[in-house]
Amino acid sequence: MVKRESGLRKRRVSYEHEISACSIFGAMNTSGERFTGEGVIRAIANMHVRSNGLGGGFAIYGLYPEYKEYYALHIMVEGRNEESKKETDAFLNTNFDVVYDEEIPHAEQKQYSASIENPPLVWRYFAAPDKKGGDKIFSDDDYVVQKVMEINTKIKDAYVFSSGKNMGVFKGVGYPEDIAEYYLLDQLYKGYIWTAHGRFPTNTQGWWGGAHPFSMLDWTVVHNGEISSYGTNRRYLEMYGYHCTLQTDSEVMTYAVDLLMRRQQLPVSVVAKILAPPVWKSIEEKKDEKEKKLLRTLRMVYAPLLMNGPFTVIIAHHGVMIGLTDRIRLRPLTAGVKGEMLYLSSEEAAIRLASPQELDKVWTPDGGEPIIGQIE
């Protein structure tokens, strides 16, 4: 139904849907021991030609142990707009108890690659929710999600990179290795999960917020692919209050993960079967009646969340890193294990480069078969 409000017709949604290809990499220490990003940066740099300098980024877990009780908000202010920065500070001070904040350290000009142009101001805040009045009914997480959406949609030039605890996203327009150099990632930080992304969009839009990883609370997604079911997925998620504003497939993937894993509390193994379910033929061939019924029911109930078309995704959260391809594996994913280290990558060579020693095991998972790394 087209609603007419004050004589105006509701226009059809005319969004641009962006197309991109990519390199992705993930490394996790399943004992939870933190490590530096040197290997990860070398690995993603090795896949240089899979991106084109229009986006690179990293997510790191176990990043801020000293502030692990607080939400770490990484917020970008485009054009270093002072007004927006002030507005953001005021907004945060009204809605949060900010215990510490600072500009995220970065290399000085001439010390980072010339391919990085006009970097925005990127600030980090460690904050606890300061819920007032009617907001008290919300959980901390839901409250933070709302406030993040408010910043993204209401404060001009401000955009939240990440909003989880003891984790953070560093991203921008440039090759991923240059972004790492810009944020001094190899010098300053340690984490027990690192994911990385190099982007190859087919348009020339250069916006730091559009780089990967995408993040919602503690969830991050790096993604390589083009989802042909985008319209179906997007319209389904809209029914649950997610509004896709970034026009990328990866955003849809992030919201789907948030809906299924955080809000509906579904286990990872089930979520994998929702996003990339087996084909009917292999479901019908299952001997176990219970499993058959479960797979059938998942496909039936969550049909609009089937991610169709080529994709590989690395989803991370505290204590878990998941690699998944579409069900007929139209984009590459290779996994490798060395001791406590789990690696996921677009290319095997990058894993071998990242691992200081010979790997215990390297393999290519089947389409739709999730690789799940969990803290033991």
Partner 1 sequence: MKSYLLPEFKIDREEERCIRCRVCERQCAFETQRYDGELERMFSDAEKCVGCQRCVIFCPANALSVSSNQFAYRLNYGWTRERISDLKKQAETGGIILAGCGNDKPYRIYFDHIVLNASQVTNPSIDPLREPMELRTFLGQKLDSLALELEPGSEFKDVEIKMELPPTVMIETPIVFSAMSYGAISYQAFKSLAIAASGYGTLFNTGEGGLPKDLRAKYWKNAIVQCASGRFGVDAEYFNCSTAVEIKIGQGAKPGIGGHLPAEKVSYSIAETRMIPEGSDAISPAPQHDIYSIEDLSTLIYALKEVTNYEKLVSVKIAAVHNSAAIASGMVRAGADIIALDGLRGGTGAAPKIVRDNVGIPIELAIASVDQRLREEGIRNRSSIIAAGGIRCSADVIKAIALGADAVYIGTAALVAMGCTLCQKCYTGRCSWGICTQDPYLAKRINPDIAARRLMNLLRGWSLEMKEMLGGMGINAIESLRGNRDHLRGVGLQEWELDVLGVKGAGE
Q: Is 297 in the site for partner 1 (CB under 8 A)?
A: yes
**Beta-carbon count within 10 A of 275 CB:** 26
Identify whether 22 is a catalytic site residue. Answer: yes
Ramachandran angles phi, psi of 111, nearest 5°: -95, -10
| Smallest separation (angstroms) from partner 1 to the CB of 364 | 18
* Region of 12-20, 148-156, 191-199, 348-356 interacting with partner 1 (CB under 8 A): 12-20
* Cα-to-chain-centroid distance, residue 78: 20
Tokens of 367: 């389409």
> Hey, which residues does 165 pair with through a beta bridge?
71
Query: x-or-dash pattern for partner 1, window 195-214, by CB under 8 A?
Result: -------x------------
* Region of 67-75, 107-115, 224-232, 333-341 interacting with partner 1 (CB under 8 A): 224-232
How would you list the strands of the sheet with 361-363, edge to edge?
A: 167-172, 56-61, 193-201, 20-29, 341-345, 334-338, 361-363
As to burial, measured by CB atoms within 10 angstroms (0-12 exposed, 13-18 middle, 19+ buried), residue 204 is exposed
Q: Is 269 in the site for partner 1 (CB under 8 A)?
A: yes
* Cα-to-chain-centroid distance, residue 278: 24
Q: Is 188 in the site for partner 1 (CB under 8 A)?
A: no
Q: Is 92 in the site for partner 1 (CB under 8 A)?
A: no
Q: Is 4 in the site for partner 1 (CB under 8 A)?
A: no
Measure the CA–CA gap between 266 and 268, rounded to whole angstroms: 7
| Annotated catalytic residue, options 22, 260, 324, 359 | 22
Q: Is 266 in the site for partner 1 (CB under 8 A)?
A: yes
| Binder among 21, 44, 60, 257 for partner 1 (CB under 8 A) | 21
Q: Is 303 in the site for partner 1 (CB under 8 A)?
A: yes
Measure the CA–CA gap between 39 and 199, rounded to whole angstroms: 19
Q: Is 366 in the site for partner 1 (CB under 8 A)?
A: no
Tokens of 222: 């790096």
Q: Of 158 and 276, which has the nearer Cβ to partner 1?
A: 276
Q: Is 262 in the site for partner 1 (CB under 8 A)?
A: no
Measure the CA–CA gap between 330 and 345, rounded to whole angstroms: 15
| Smallest separation (angstroms) from partner 1 to the CB of 239 | 5
Contacts of 17 by beta carbon, 8 Å cutoff, 6+ apart: 230, 247, 248, 249
Q: Is 132 in the site for partner 1 (CB under 8 A)?
A: no
Residues designated catalytic: 22
Q: Which residues bind partner 1 (CB under 8 A)?
A: 1-2, 9-14, 17, 19-21, 202, 226, 228-232, 235-236, 238-240, 264, 266-267, 269-270, 273, 279-281, 288, 290-291, 293-294, 297-304, 306, 308-310, 327-328, 330
